[in-house]
Amino acid sequence: MGYHDIAESSWTSAAAANRGGSSGGGYTDILKEIFDRLMAKGIEEVVSDPSAFREQLHRHFERLPASYSIDLDVEKPEDVLLHRRILDECANNPDKRPVFHVRFLRCIRAPLDSEDSGGSLTSTLRRDIEIRPIHEIIFSTIDKTKLLRELSDLMSEVGLNIHEAHVFSTTDGFCLDVFVVDGWDTKETDGLLQGLKETAARSHVFCFLSPLVLHGYLKFAGAFLASLIEPNKFCSHGKKY
């Protein structure tokens, strides 16, 4: 299993999109509509301090490609709150990376090929129908190249078929990837979430260092290499060796 009629959103980088993708007012129009709909729904974190939330919403859109706003379903404004929480959890809790979120979307009626291989007219015309659950998987971690392929391999190992993949990179080095999949035979999500986490834990490709930790390692490595070139400059407590 793996890609199945996959529709991948090939967005430009967040920085480039934010520089050149806001013409025509579409970005701010979508943001305003999302804000107004959340206010109308009486969401607590919105109505308790509208001005503060408007600024938080603006920062959320600014860190993502402008094309993110095009991909949103304004009929589901709560999705923006979910995306923001997932990105914040990923950025603020390195030990929890990668972050997965799974939810059931709907069931579809899909044709199931008949096992009758007799070639009769009845078997040719009849297509059995199965009810197939569709789930959404949202993923966030430190961004890197070829991540989509690695995620596809991960989901294939769990037994999922990817129908849609929407991939976004943030300005601060993280990703927000949204997949629509089938292959999980029930509406429940706990088992699917656990399966994704366990499979990711077994795969070294999802073991990421936080940017700050990585910077610390690189700084130390640079100092150590410098000491090999000029030993007298590498000292402890001000003493040269």
Predicted pLDDT of residue 191:
97
2 pLDDT more than 90: no
The reported pLDDT for the residue numbered 167 is: 94
Dihedral of alpha carbons 205, 210, 216, 218, sign: positive
Query: DSSP H helical segments within 110-189, as ranges?
Result: 121-125, 147-158
DSSP 145: T
**Token output for 114:** 């008949």
Decide which of 130 and 228 is more confident. Answer: 130
Is the pLDDT confidence value at 61 over 70?
Answer: yes
Q: Is the pLDDT of residue 179 over 50?
A: yes
Note the pTM of the prediction, 2 decimals. Answer: 0.72
Name the average pLDDT for the chain: 80
Q: What is the reported pLDDT for 122?
A: 52
Mean pLDDT, rounded, for 189-199: 96
Cα separation values, 152 from 1, 3, 177, 215, 235, Å: 9, 7, 11, 29, 48
How confident is the model over 83-140, as pLDDT tens digits?
Answer: 999 999 999 999 999 999 999 999 999 887 555 445 555 544 556 889 999 999 999 9
Mean pLDDT value across residues 147-167: 95
Cα torsion 25, 28, 34, 37: sign: negative
pLDDT confidence of 30, banded at 50, 70, 90? very high
